[in-house]
Structure 1
Amino acid sequence: MSNSSSSLATFGEPWPDYNDGLSYTDLIPPSCSGLSVIEYYSKKHHNSAPLHGWLQRIQNEQITIDGVVVKDPNTILRDGSVLVYHRLPWKEPHAPYQLQVLFEDDDLVALNKPSGLQVLPGGLFQQRTVLTQLQWHISKGASLCQQPHPAPVHRLGRGTSGILLCAKTQFAKSRLSAYFADGTSAVGNKRSNDAELNSTRKISKYYRALVSGVIDEDQVIIDQPIGLVKYPGVAKGLYVASPSGKPALSKVSILERDVKVSSTLVQVEIQSGRPHQIRIHLSFIGHPLIGDPLYVAGGHPNNFNAELTDESFAQDGGYRRPENPVPGDCGYHLHAHRLLLAHPITNEVNVPKHEVNKG
């Protein structure tokens, strides 16, 4: 089905200036009994803040043990104690808030996510997310609340726009999540048998991307594995093109070539769901997305040798945002254009589709 933006239902509430802050709770295990508060945080949660940052948080009275504010960083922890770090409210970076409803029934809803809006909480974006807007929409008794708690069943990068699928029931969520997982695992098991791979898939995703350079071939198959490497500012590591990574498969079709500005508009069908797969694969073949601040030709990040130092920490004691690019940075041109879906309840084929002008 196709929708024009002028006829789509929209919802969304403006963001408050500051979020509500966060609380992080640790139940002290026997192995950590006898450690001081500062020893525990500097060892167990060193990715959150350097030693000086945790001392600053204690001085700010942001840490409690069993509900009592910790004032001495050398306070000894006991087995079973409840240790809580209270993160102060902060002003999250700018993010759009309005969402368009492309398709909806009793079991699922397909939304048009704008570029710049994160799907789930993470990093600096704990409130300004798609999930928050869905929760606020439910609390107002809107149509989406006819079923329990709609929630995204896959992710789009913060800078990626387009179709985001959300489940409205727990059953639909589990089945849709299984569809996505099955598609990714099938690539690893059956990469050499394309017909068999297509016959088992319940979800097909098609994206449009604007890349640098002119691609000569009309179609390109990219099966470069994707793996993790250590990267400053990304605690869990950064996904890159890696021979030792997990299987990934992208099918690229050329839509339009612009020789004058040396760019190509492509459609990409992904048959696996590795993080940042399209950005990595297109940069791997030497055609990174125009405006991508992170991935350069070869499928690796720009400024790969950039480092953080323990001397750099913010007002709340945590590390400052790294100067080198990180995955959530926007600026690239990538749109989730079309989704082919076997309905999780009826098995009927649905095709949520959203057009976007090349920009």
Structure 2
Amino acid sequence: MGMPSPLPVRDGVGATRLHVPLTGEWPTVADYMIDRFFHLDPDRLRARFDRGEIVAADGSAVALDAPIGSVEFIWYYREPPAEQRIPFEIDVLHQDDHLLVVDKPHFLPTTPGGRYLQNSALVRLRNLLDNPELAPMHRLDRATAGLLMFSTRPATRGAYQLLFENRQVRKVYEAVSARPQNWDPSALPLVYRNHIEKLRAQVRVQVDTEREPNAETRVELISADDRVVHTLLRPHSGKMHQLRVHLAALGLGILNDPFYPVLHPEQPDDFDHPLQLLARELRFTDPLSGEERVFRTRRSLQEAPAGGTPVSGA
């Protein structure tokens, strides 16, 4: 179980917890924080200590001169950045006493991070539903649209978390890729495997061809025309960027993907050209009721071929 925060959720955003070394070159906790967040104004950080905004596990304010080693963890609210609103809304598909299932739009992150606080699915939904206990059961990339499931109650959250940990939630995705020259439709279906690793401070994952595969995706054909290929993706694992990496490796890099197969320079969001990846279906046996639960997105991919005939089971 995670360490409880001494600070309540505020405006849909939980407090940030920071581990502080018990020994080191920093005379005070404040000095460590100033060194850790060197890109921030040190006087503003010191002022936050003076205002009592940095607290210990018991909720007491950490003094500006508190020596290193006096606390191991501190909590504080992130100062909200100036955010441009993501101009797309979340659609609520299902809500009961335990679960919330929504259709997330492209460009909206699942949880707060970086320059996105209020513009995250979690914070928007906490504020919309007035439920500070809402927590995501899994995550979608900011660029990916589709089904996202949340727990609404801590008391039953663990039962649903185990489903994801034990890979008992069957996920289905759709993607649209540019059709390669001389592409052979008979190449699909297939199962693709490799070893994916997320390295710190890198935006892309790394593929290690020497190690045992840890990521597996079944790729099926939905339809194709002379321009694009529309595929159905059934991941057996859930590694970061897995579907994007696997399709790129097959020569079917997803349309509008700025990371794979080629990393492009960072650009402002192009809302007219979202990544053509959609979380289409979630299916699992409910651990509380034993009922088979199936949720399907209402969204579609704008670049999908018109009039394509789905494969069996799609």
Task: Please tell me the TM-score bracket, short chain as reference.
Answer: 0.7 to 0.9
Equivalent residue number for residue 345 of structure 1? 288
How far, CA to CA, are the matches of 2:274 and 2:22 in structure 1? 47
1:57-206, aligned counterparts within 5 Å?
Answer: 57-58=42-43, 62-64=47-49, 67=52, 77-80=67-70, 88-96=79-87, 98-139=89-130, 149-183=133-167, 202-206=168-172
> How much has 1:170 moved relative to structure 2?
2.6
Gaps of 5+ in 2: 1-10, 55-64, 303-314
Do the aligned partners of 2:13 and 2:123 also contact (CA within 8 Å) in 1? no
Q: When you count helix as a share of all residues, which structure comes out higher?
A: 1
Residue 221 of structure 2 corresponds to residue 254 of structure 1: yes
Change (3 A) 1:84 1:240: same
Equivalent residue number for residue 280 of structure 1? 245
How far, CA to CA, are the matches of 1:157 and 1:228 in structure 2? 14
CA RMSD of aligned residues (A): 3.6
> How much has 1:340 moved relative to structure 2?
1.4
Query: Which deviates more from structure 2 when the two are superposed, residues 77-86 or residues 220-229?
Result: 77-86
How far, CA to CA, are the matches of 1:165 and 1:172 in structure 2? 14
Change (3 A) 1:84 1:207: closer
Residue 263 of structure 2 corresponds to residue 302 of structure 1: yes
How far, CA to CA, are the matches of 1:242 and 1:160 in structure 2? 24
1:134 counterpart SS class: helix
Equivalent residue number for residue 226 of structure 1? 196
How far, CA to CA, are the matches of 1:175 and 1:159 in structure 2? 28
> How much has 1:76 moved relative to structure 2?
8.9
How far, CA to CA, are the matches of 1:206 and 1:68 in structure 2? 44
Do the aligned partners of 2:176 and 2:254 also contact (CA within 8 Å) in 1? yes
How far, CA to CA, are the matches of 2:223 and 2:159 in structure 1? 36
1:302-321, aligned counterparts within 5 Å?
Answer: 302=263
Do the aligned partners of 1:65 and 1:84 also contact (CA within 8 Å) in 2? no
Do the aligned partners of 2:189 and 2:219 also contact (CA within 8 Å) in 1? yes
Gaps of 5+ in 1: 1-18, 70-74, 140-144, 184-201, 304-322
Which structure ranks higher in relative contact order (CA pairs < 8 Å, sequence separation ≥ 6)? 1
Residue 243 of structure 2 corresponds to residue 267 of structure 1: no
Residue 179 of structure 2 corresponds to residue 213 of structure 1: yes
Q: When you count strand as a share of all residues, which structure comes out higher?
A: 1
Do the aligned partners of 2:137 and 2:161 also contact (CA within 8 Å) in 1? yes
Query: Which deviates more from structure 2 when the two are superposed, residues 85-94 or residues 269-278?
Result: 85-94
Do the aligned partners of 1:30 and 1:79 also contact (CA within 8 Å) in 2? yes
Change (3 A) 1:286 1:325: farther
How far, CA to CA, are the matches of 1:257 and 1:101 in structure 2? 31
> How much has 1:221 moved relative to structure 2?
0.8
How far, CA to CA, are the matches of 1:339 and 1:84 in structure 2? 35
TM-score w.r.t. structure 2 length?
0.73
> How much has 1:336 moved relative to structure 2?
0.9
The percentage of aligned residue pairs carrying the same residue is 22
> How much has 1:206 moved relative to structure 2?
0.6
1:32 counterpart SS class: coil
Q: Which digits, 9 at most, give the CA deviation of each residue in 1:32-71, with x for residues without a partner?
A: 375367863475x2xx54xxx34x33267555269499xx
1:118 counterpart SS class: coil
TM-score w.r.t. structure 1 length?
0.65
Q: Which digits, 9 at most, give the CA deviation of each residue in 1:175-200, with x for residues without a partner?
A: 222111111xxxxxxxxxxxxxxxxx
Residue 279 of structure 2 corresponds to residue 336 of structure 1: yes
How far, CA to CA, are the matches of 1:343 and 1:222 in structure 2? 29
1:229 counterpart SS class: coil
How far, CA to CA, are the matches of 1:208 and 1:109 in structure 2? 22
Change (3 A) 1:246 1:180: farther
1:64 counterpart SS class: helix
Q: Which digits, 9 at most, give the CA deviation of each residue in 1:190-230, with x for residues without a partner?
A: xxxxxxxxxxxx31111110112245223121111211235
1:109 counterpart SS class: strand
> How much has 1:167 moved relative to structure 2?
1.9
